Amino acid sequence: MHEFTVWAPAASRVMLHLPAADPDGYRREPMRRVADPALGQEATPDTDGWWHLAVPEAGHGTDYAFALDGGDPRPDPRSAWQPEGVHRHSRVFDASRHAWGDAGWKGLDCRGAVFYELHIGTFTPEGTLDAAIGRLDHLVRLGVQMVELLPVAEFSGERGWGYDGVGLYAVHHAYGGPEALARFVDAAHGKGLGVCLDAVYNHLGPDGNYLREFGPYFTDAHTTPWGDAVNLDDDGSHGVRSWIIDNALRWFRDFHIDCLRLDAVHALVDASPRHLLAELSDRVAALSAQIGRPLGLVAESDLNDPSMVDPVVNGGRGMTGQWDDDVHHSIHAFITGETQGYYCDFGTSSVLARVLTEAFRHAGDYSTFRGKHWGAPVSPDRHRGHQFIIATQNHDQVGNRATGDRPSATVSPGRLAASAALMLTSIYTPMLFMGEEWGARTPWQFFTAFENPELAEAVRKGRRAEFGSHGWAPEEVPDPQALSTRDDSVLNWAEPEQEAHAAMLTWYRDLIALRSASPDLLDDSFDSVSVQYGDAWIAMRRGSFTTVLNIGAEPARVPVPAGSAARLTWGSVVLDDDEETALVSPDSVAVLQVRD
């Protein structure tokens, strides 16, 4: 027995398509309009538009689709399984079939955990969740605690980043489908790793997006970079909000996910009395209390507004944490010297010192790139460093470069080591991007496999035009549709065995181990950090620890506390206890600790 339900408030007739011996292979069963799919109540003209049909012979593995008012059969907007892609029939998935082995898993607070962001399609040559399980031991040895998966929701084609998903309840078929995700999470928990899932609710992809046929999922009352906004506050928005919130709760409940990273929440335009994020926060908190383990919500926000992590009862959005791109921009511009585009207000040691102690570069002051004042300051009285997730590399900052080149393509190993030390000894929650830990030289490029040829060509031309305006020759921009673009982006797992890469991997492992074992480095109060700096050097103090680095062309004499001794060193750092200084050679970094 399976209960089929679908929300289609404007439809006057809904037919359920099921497998049969008819010429087209399907039989059609009329569905009944109900007020509540759980209760099967008869609907009235004022109810919210659910349709229902119980089919005794249907169950796990049954293919089906919905046809509205005589239209073509379409996939279920809440389909958990699309084995043949976004345009074909849905398949019933029974989540209870997986025999979970993580009964002893108590969960993980995402705040302060070491994150590791990876893309299933390029983490291994196979590009599947099952293949990724085989690399979990590497992450355990590295010392990370939370594995963050880029979106796995069903999208058009066999390969892509996942940010153009259209089947938000399904797990991409090329990654192995929903059963493979359950196996991955179970295996991760068995090795002591939490799992964070990237969820995209602010827009949907263009190919295979049939939601407008079902209901008012979008509104032209607001616009976003992707067109009409997802409908969170216009007529019929109650059904759309339920579709999003139920989706989030389902990842936690049915797949034992520990945290959701919410993509670009500034594009969730919501003028209703209770913002979607606040409602989601309360619902997730209730589920967390019910199942007895912590559940996290991390917002990617461009707003530089710490109220994102303030409790809902205090007027905030209630997020567990938020991404802080200003720290990335400050470290990247300082280390690489790049100050074009949105890096224009970054690049100096003074700006770097500011974000290391205050979270944001733009906290109510003028943003040159945006042409307006931007952001708001954190309050040391109510905000903590672990509420802000930082990175020196991530999918956006690498993949949205014209050729997807990583810093390791142009920056010396010493500077890479310095950026890692700043991130991993800071007061913030650190996040690594796959391969960063060994200085991977493989690029991570933008790639797609759209089935619609017109859309594919539009993306190809748009990508080249975008970077052509920044001075890149069109032939330098990889073709997103080419299989080679994806293949060139796959991690090379032979690299960590090579001497130079192995040294970087050891550096990351040692930094993470030192961080995890040192209370001073886990103290995330803003009052616990102070920074001194010169034109090319930084000295960041954290209790008994001081991280010093120099990216200048000449040695720098850097002030350090008396009695300091080196715990970790890359390059040459010579201590002079009498003068309370360290002579730091170019492209060198050390983590020092005051001796007892």
Q: 300, 396, 524, 587: which is the annotated catalytic residue?
A: 300
Please work out, in degrees rounded to the nearest 5, the angle formed at the alpha carbon of residue 156 by the alpha carbons of 154 and 162. 55
Residue located via tokens 């995402």? 110
The letter for the amino acid at 141 is R
What is the distance between the alpha carbons of residues 495 and 511, in angstroms, rounded to a whole number?
20
Q: How far apart are the first and last CA of the chain?
A: 69
263 is an active site residue: yes
3-state secondary structure 456-489: HHHHHHHHHHHHHCCCCCHHHCCCCCCHHHHHHC
Give the sign of the dihedral formed by CA 453, CA 454, CA 459, CA 460: positive
Candidates 560, 549, 559; CA nearest to 585 is: 549
Number of helices (H), then strands (E), in the chain: 15, 29
Q: 63, 164, 213, 263: which is the annotated catalytic residue?
A: 263
Distances (CA, A) of 388 to 159, 181, 283, 514, 543: 31, 27, 22, 20, 20
Cβ(225)–Cβ(232) below 8 Å: no
Cβ(262)–Cβ(299) below 8 Å: yes
Q: Could you tell me how far CA 405 lies from the centroid of its own chain? A: 19
Reading the block at residue 180, the tokens are 């493979």
Give the sign of the dihedral formed by CA 232, CA 237, CA 243, CA 249: positive
Phi and psi at 122, nearest 5°, equal: -130, 0
Range 386-425 burial, b when 16+ CB lie within 10 A, else e = bbbbbbbbbbbbbbebbebebbbeebebbbbbbbbbbbbb
451 is an active site residue: no
Across the strands, what pairs with 391? 431
Residue 266, classified by CB atoms within 10 Å of its CB into exposed (0-12), middle (13-18) or buried (19+), is: middle
What is the distance between the alpha carbons of residues 116 and 208, in angstroms, rounded to a whole number?
30
Residues with catalytic roles: 263, 300
